[in-house]
Amino acid sequence: MTKITRKEQYEWAVKKVEGLLNLVTDTTPPEDPNRIELELLSNLVADYSEEHFAAQTVEVIIENAGSNLSAYIKDAPIITVGNSIKEIIGNIKEAINLYLEENPNPCDALKGNFTLEFKINAETFLNH
């Protein structure tokens, strides 16, 4: 089946879907050409959106590193240290930004949209 591969195709399809939404209702018969087109384009738009706009969760592991803390992202070349959790959060964000600036084709863990989820064990949290 065909899929949307470029942003221009996606933008065209979104506009087309918006126009078709004015023509198709819940009572529109399934064999209606507008309803068929709406269903097909909606699926293509949803697939592209999921692939390009959905945010994945990137796990940041914070660990005790003796006199300070360290943090890293599994499956990504990102590691940093800091003296507090607040500092670690700032440092990991800065390290990610620097990595992305220097790597136009980043590792899979840092491609597209993502959110950071910080993981820290209770002992490390209580000691810092």
What does residue 95 show for φ and ψ, rounded to 5 degrees?
Answer: -65, -40
Query: Would you say 37 and 20 are in contact if contact means Cβ atoms under 8 Å apart?
Result: yes
Instruction: Please check whether residue 34 is in contact with residue 28, taking contact to mean a CB–CB distance below 8 angstroms.
Output: yes
Amino acid of residue 72 = Y
Task: Give residue limits of the domains in the chain.
Answer: 7-52, 56-127
Q: What is the pLDDT of residues 31-83, one digit of tens each?
A: 999 999 999 999 999 999 888 877 789 999 999 988 899 999 988 999 999 99
What is the dihedral angle through the alpha carbons of 50, 40, 6, 10, rounded to the nearest 10 degrees?
-80
Ramachandran region, residue 74 (left: φ > 0; alpha: ψ -120 to 50; beta: rest):
beta
- Is the pLDDT at 124 greater than 70? The verdict is yes
The verdict on pTM exceeding 0.75 is: no
Q: What is the pLDDT of residues 55-64, one digit of tens each?
A: 789 999 999 9
If one looks up domain 56-127 in CATH, what number appears? Answer: 3.30.2390.10
- pLDDT, tens digit, 9 for 90 and up, residues 99-112: 999 998 999 999 88
